[in-house]
Structure formats: C-alpha cells, structure tokens
Amino acid sequence: MIDTQKLKSIPASYSRLGWTLLILGVLLTVISFVINPKHASFGLIMTLTFVATVGIGALFWVGIEYVSSAVWSTPMRRPFEFISGVIPFLIILAVPLLFNMTTIFEWTHRALFKDDPALLVKAPYLNIPFFIVRTIVVFLVWWLFYYLIIRNSRTQDSTRDQGLTTKNIKLSAGFIPVFGITLTIFSIDWLMSLTPDWYSTIFGVYLFTGAAVASMAFATIVIVKLNEKNLFPVKITPDHYYNLGTFLFAFSNFWAYIGFSQFMLQWYGNLRDETVWYIPRIHGSWAVVSITLVFMQFVIPFFFLITKPAKMDPRRLVFISIWLLAAHALDIYWMVMPVYNPDHAVFALSEVAFMILSVGILLSVFSFKAKGNNMVPIGDPKLQRGLEFHI
C-alpha cells in the first residue's frame, strides 16, 4: 500500500525552484528597500501576511482534522504540516518592519493625535512597545502549538502510539480558539491599524477566510502535483480530491459572504469612521482592483468548481488553486496598498518582490521540511481508513 521508496523523497526540482525564488525574492526586496523604503515596507507587510496566513491556515486544517476525527485527510495531512513549517520563520519577516514602524504606521506619529480624540483613546493599544510584545507573543503561541502538534505527529510515525492522536486532538481543541484570537490580533495590528481611524469587528474573520482558502489552495497544488507525478507514497484518489475541491469551493464562497457583509454594513450605515477605509477602494483604479478581486476570488471559482467532476479533476484543481493563491495575494494587496497610495493602484518592484518572495518562502520551506520526513503519516491509526475513503 505505502511505497516506502517515495516516503521521504521530494524531487530536487521543487527544492531548486523554491530556493531560487527565495534568493531572488530576498534580493528584490532588499533592492526595493534601497529604492523606496516606505513602499518596500508595505510590500514586506504583504509578504508577511501572505506567508503567515498560508502557514497558520495549514496548521488550522491539521487541527480541524484532529478535532473532527476526519479520516479522508489523514493520508494527505503531512503536506499541510510541512506548509505550516513557515511559522517559526515569521519573526524574521517581521523584524525589518518592527524597526521601521514609523514609516508605515500613521499612529506612531503622536503629534497627529492631539486633534483626534479617537486616536488618543487607542493609544494604550496602538503604541510601539505593546505592538512589538503582541507580535512576539502571537508568533510564539503559534510556534508552540506548531511544535507540539507536529512533534506528536512525527513521533507517531515510529511509535504508532494511538495516545499521540488523543494528545493531538486535545492540543487542537485548545489551538482552534487560540488561533481565532491570535489571528484577529494579527489582523488588527498589521492590517487594520494601517488605517487607524477605521474599525470592523468582522475583520479577523475576513482574514481567516482568506487564510483558509489560500492554505488549502497551496496544499492542493502540492498534493495533486506530487500525486499525479506518481511521487506520492500512497494513491490519492479522485474521491480525496473531491473533498479538497469542496473545501476550496465552500471557503471561497465563505470569503465572499464575509467580505460582502463587511462592505454592505459599512456602506449602509455610511458612518465616516467606517467608510474611510472603503472610499479609496471604490474610486479610480482601486475600484478596478476591487471588482477584479470579487471576480477572481468568488465569481470565477464559484462557476469553475460548482460541478462534481470539476472538484475531482486534478488539472482543474491545480489551475483553480493557483488562481486562488493569486486571488489571495490580490486580496492582501487590496487591503494594504490603498493606505500607501489612496489615489491609484501602484505596481512596482515591491509588488514583484512580494509575489516572488512569498512563493519562494513557502516552496523552499516546504521542500526543506519534506526532506528527511515521511510524506505520509505512516503511524497514524486512521491512515488505513483514510486510504479506503470514498464518497
């Protein structure tokens, strides 16, 4: 059943591509910092958000599998675990930003506050020391859960101890609510506070939906590609693909629902504190970006994935997953860049660096983690049931 030869092998081409993109991405980011530090900082925020959401999203999916005792995803769980391996490296991406906060965040300029009582109220939360503490704590908490859950999963490969599954279920049950709160804090700090006047209680949920789609999309690409090239140690059937496709479909719809709710409620109430975020995004070239985003992340995937055969077809799944990753990048770009330039959409070296560096980090970390580790959780008691799964 399990091809032990393929267990620990990941093609060198993946690794090479990953490292190439990573080095190129770092180079371009450094150059963009030299050219325009402010623009580059915004670009780095985008990179941080993209990598963090895909990474923590992947860990979320691992946790959900444990908590719901799902079996269909067990044969494919390892790729998700490898993807979440970016979590320990997030702090590296954040450091250049933490040293650069006055360029990025309006609220760091205290002098502006004295006329705005609302900003004054926020000062106990929006101040540099507390911000840094929160960033470190969030990344530490994420790393802690990552370390414990993944370690149990790896150990189980050799010990086949069912108690580790029970442990991971308990850890995941604790992780899910903590994930919700920490991702919300991340979204408020790095994204919402870019427009310090603005607030929206649903924003954490909005980022969550994007994270869920993007992490599922990246995992789908990796799993399907490896499986189709016959490099996966077990046979993943179209029935497994169907579930991946269903989640992509469901969560891209969920993204649209949350995004629309936020927009409609703030449009309807028409209060200055809330519309201040949307005004730049519905005029000029940003309006084009907004409409493109809706089509990219909702309309096209909806019709593309609605039929059952589409959800089971490997080629279509890879295509739509790449599409959805690009849509997530556009989503982050749409959330961040209108703060940098409210008048029109910008596309410069920083954006290119963002895209290349993000994919480079994800791919290189994935291949790095996959080397020397089993691609399938061979010790997991649910593995056999998962392999026999069909719809």
Query: Which residues here bind other proteins, judged by CB under 8 A?
Result: 67-69, 71-72, 117-122, 125, 162-163, 165-166, 173, 176-177, 180-181, 184, 188, 199-205, 246, 253, 257-258, 260-271, 273, 306-308, 380-382, 384-385, 388-391
What is the rounded CA–CA span in Å between residue 168 and residue 150? 9
User: In terms of CB distance, is 278 or 340 closer to other proteins?
Assistant: 278
What is the rounded CA–CA span in Å between residue 65 and residue 327? 25
- Which of these, 169, 164, 180, 171, lies nearest to 67 by C-alpha position? 169
User: In terms of CB distance, is 18 or 196 closer to other proteins?
Assistant: 196
- Shortest Cβ 173–other proteins spacing (Å): 8
- Residue 53 has which token pair? 């959401």
Amino acid at 271: L
- Shortest Cβ 333–other proteins spacing (Å): 21
User: In terms of CB distance, is 260 or 295 closer to other proteins?
Assistant: 260
User: In terms of CB distance, is 98 or 123 closer to other proteins?
Assistant: 123
User: In terms of CB distance, is 308 or 371 closer to other proteins?
Assistant: 308
User: In terms of CB distance, is 13 or 270 closer to other proteins?
Assistant: 270
Q: Are 390 and 75 in contact (CB under 8 A)?
A: no
What is the rounded CA–CA span in Å between residue 91 and residue 102? 19
- Shortest Cβ 79–other proteins spacing (Å): 21
The distance from CA 268 to its chain's CA centroid, rounded to whole angstroms, is 30
User: In terms of CB distance, is 67 or 326 closer to other proteins?
Assistant: 67
**Sign of the C-alpha dihedral, residues 17, 18, 23, 27?**
positive
* Residue for token pair 């506050």: 113
Q: Are 340 and 354 in contact (CB under 8 A)?
A: no
- Residue 104 has which token pair? 């990025």
What is the rounded CA–CA span in Å between residue 107 and residue 203? 19
- Residue 328 has which token pair? 């997530």
Q: How many CB atoms lie within 10 A of CB 244?
A: 23
- Shortest Cβ 220–other proteins spacing (Å): 18
- Shortest Cβ 361–other proteins spacing (Å): 29
What is the rounded CA–CA span in Å between residue 378 and residue 157? 5
Which residues make Cβ contacts (< 8 Å) with residue 310, sequence separation at least 6? 245, 304, 316
User: In terms of CB distance, is 38 or 308 closer to other proteins?
Assistant: 308
User: In terms of CB distance, is 243 or 292 closer to other proteins?
Assistant: 243
- Shortest Cβ 40–other proteins spacing (Å): 28
Tell me the CA distances in angstroms from 245 to 248, 252, 366, 384, one per residue in order: 5, 11, 21, 22
- Shortest Cβ 165–other proteins spacing (Å): 5
What is the rounded CA–CA span in Å between residue 73 and residue 95? 35
User: In terms of CB distance, is 67 or 300 closer to other proteins?
Assistant: 67
- Shortest Cβ 10–other proteins spacing (Å): 27
- Shortest Cβ 298–other proteins spacing (Å): 12
- Shortest Cβ 337–other proteins spacing (Å): 22
Which residues make Cβ contacts (< 8 Å) with residue 266, sequence separation at least 6? 200, 274, 275, 277, 278
